[in-house]
Amino acid sequence: MSELWKAGLAQLALHVESGDASCHDVVSETLARIEKYDGRIGAFVRLRGEAALAEARAADEARARKRARSRLHGLPIAVKDIFASREFETTCGSKILAGFRAPYDATVLVRLREAGLIVVGSTNMDEFAMGSSTENSAFQKTRNPWDESRIPGGSSGGSAAAVAARMVPAALGTDTGGSIRQPAALCGVVGIKPTYGRVSRYGLVAFASSLDQIGPLTRSCSDAALLLGVLAGHDPRDATSYPAPAPNFLASLTGDVSGLRIGVPRGFFAGPGLDPEVQRCTAEALTRLQSLGAKTVDVELPNSAHGIATYYLICTAEASSNLSRYDGVKYGFRARDADTLDEMYENTRSQGFGAEVKRRILLGTYVLSAGYYDAYYRKAQQIRTLIRGDFERAFEACDVIATPTTPGPAWKLGQLVDDPLQMYLADVYTVTANLAGLPGLSLPCGFTGAGLPVGLQLLGRPLDEATVLRAGDAFQRHTDFHERVPPGVTR
């Protein structure tokens, strides 16, 4: 096996452009590493081996004729098992969608194909993106490449683990309350959730429609900027898509953060729930950014204390509505042990949904029910407005806001399976960005004494992904945390 696995997207593009490697070489090595390591990691639920190699050969031919569709033409990528595709199954980690193949392609898959990127497979996830550990998948458990006895985070844990283990240079995930940023932090990679509406959600299987967002997981901020440029932009098929072209995110990576104002909500860097080593790593990261010319200012986000409660009321309410379509009639799993239509509905959902999905459907149905709507759902939406207002006021004093991405490092597999409320708290620093629709970036900023990655989160103003990427890229130009490789996957 060659050394191509060490390269990120931009580096691979240079190798292919210079003739040092072919697209077929890159995809072949990618598939070889998946075969070698994924039996231990469990990141992938399905692969496109022969189809991906055929597309790589076609990409080499196109490049030979000077017809490359983009710099990334012929390079491999993985996608979360949540995007509608005509070519391969979309199961969302759930038995209830077993065998489902969509009659159309999600916009993000179309844009990947238009840029010439090659999807090598789909990655494991918590069922319908409901979870923080990728332990809720109906198919398998994914392990953290840094310590295979630990979780990779979730719900995009398969995508994060695949990138961390250097099986692919990049992957797509989705983020409803931190499901890109949290696994990125726990696996030591970069993950960005764009502004709500920046990337089309057309063809994304919905969990909570006002919170879901698609974004990349990569090895560096520069690769994230490169891939986000492929994904972003207006889509008339998505009514929530921002109606303007996306900027050139890569051009914003100047390496200069002189005078950049970093807002620091001090309450996020203290408290009994924050692991001391996470606090140390993130504080050191802020010191490093200050040494590069950035300035820190204190900001207040008083209503963020209600973020978890607000998020779980809103997301479960939307989930109970979105998941009502799975009844065994049109597609997916259908229970056969039923004598009436009502029994078929009940048995299909009882047998097809996992425990976490059922829990959230029940909670969401309750908060939307007559007599409880005003007390819970309406109140949560009012607090959501207050949270958004807190951010607007904070950004009057700063350009980005920095927090830890997670309160602690990755925990042991099975450790919190029977304590869902404790697992929900793993998203305590990430959910407010979704409630406010803000862009959020997580990047590696250090390691615990046990060798587990720690992530720094940078939040930006709406539609200002460029600034958070610029700050993250400047940090990475002077650190090597993102270049370190889990010891078990170094050959």
Closest CA to 94 of 46, 57, 127: 127
Chain Cα centroid distance, residue 194: 10
From CA 201, how far away is CA 222, in angstroms rounded? 23
pLDDT of 360 reads: 96
Residue 253 lies in a domain: yes
Compute the average pLDDT of residues 114-125.
98
The pLDDT of residue 1 is above 70: no
pLDDT over 60 (residue 52) = yes
Owning domain of residue 99: 4-268+278-299+393-489
pLDDT band of residue 331 (cuts 50, 70, 90) is confident
Q: Is the pLDDT of residue 227 over 70?
A: yes
For residue 350, tell me if it sits in a domain.
no
Give the pLDDT band (50/70/90) at residue 491.
confident
- Closest by CA to 208, choosing from 427, 30, 58, is 427
- Residues 149-161 as b/e (b if ≥16 CB within 10 A, e otherwise) read ebbbbbbbbbbbb
Question: Which region among 102-111, 211-220, 324-333, 439-448 has the lowest average model confidence (pLDDT)?
Answer: 324-333
Confidence check: pLDDT of 408 > 50: yes
- Digit-coded pLDDT (tens) for 417-439: 888 888 999 999 999 999 999 99
349 domain residue, yes or no: no
Rama region for 101: left / alpha / beta (φ>0; ψ in -120 to 50; rest): beta
Number of domains in the chain: 1
Q: Determine the Cα–Cα distance for residues 424 and 409; give it in Å rounded to an integer.
A: 14
Report, in this order, helix, strand and coil percent for the chain, each rounded to 5. Answer: 45, 15, 45
**Coil, helix or strand for 383?**
helix
pLDDT tens for each residue of 185-206? 999 999 999 999 999 999 999 9
pLDDT at residue 346, as a whole number: 94
Say whether pLDDT at 133 is over 50: yes
Residue-level pLDDT at 51: 97
Q: What is the mean pLDDT of residues 125-131?
A: 97
* β-strand partners of 173: 215
What CATH number does residue 146 fall under?
A: 3.90.1300.10
Predicted confidence at residue 418, as pLDDT, reads 87
Classified as helix, coil or strand, 27 is helix
Residue 345 within a domain: no
Contact predicate 182/406, CB 8 Å:
yes
Residue 127 tokens read as: 């069922």
In a domain? residue 186: yes
Reported as a single tens digit per residue, the pLDDT across 435-452 is 999 999 999 999 999 999
Sheet holding 76-80, edge to edge: 44-47, 118-123, 76-80, 170-174, 214-218, 190-193, 440-447, 453-460, 400-404, 261-264, 295-298
Q: Tell me, what amino acid is at 440?
A: G
Helical (H) or strand (E) element with 29:
helix 23-41
Listed in sequence order, the residues at least 6 apart from 236 whose beta carbon sits closer than 8 Å to its beta carbon are none
User: What was the pLDDT predicted at 487?
Assistant: 95
* Span 455-470, pLDDT tens digits: 999 999 999 999 999 9
Give a yes or no: residue 373 inside a domain.
no
Q: Which pairing describes strands 190-193 and 118-123: parallel, antiparallel, or unpaired?
A: unpaired
Q: Give the span between the Cα atoms of 403 and 264, in whole angstroms.
A: 7
Q: Give me 11's structure tokens.
A: 């580096």
The catalytic residues are 80, 155, 179
What's the pLDDT band for 267 if we cut at 50, 70, 90?
A: confident
pLDDT score of 284 more than 50: yes
Q: pTM of the prediction? A: 0.97
Contacts of 429 (CB under 8 A, 6+ apart): 178, 268, 403, 404, 405, 406, 407, 457
Q: Closest by alpha carbon to 186, among 479, 444, 476, 483?
A: 444
What integer is the mean pLDDT of 223-227? 98
Q: How much is the pLDDT for 473?
A: 98
Task: Tell me, yes or no, whether 375 lies in a domain.
Answer: no
- The answer to whether residue 378 sits within a structural domain is no
Residue with tokens 């959020």: 440
Half-sphere CA count of 419, side-chain side, radius 13 A: 9
In three-state secondary structure terms, 86 is: coil
Pairing, β 76-80 against β 118-123: parallel
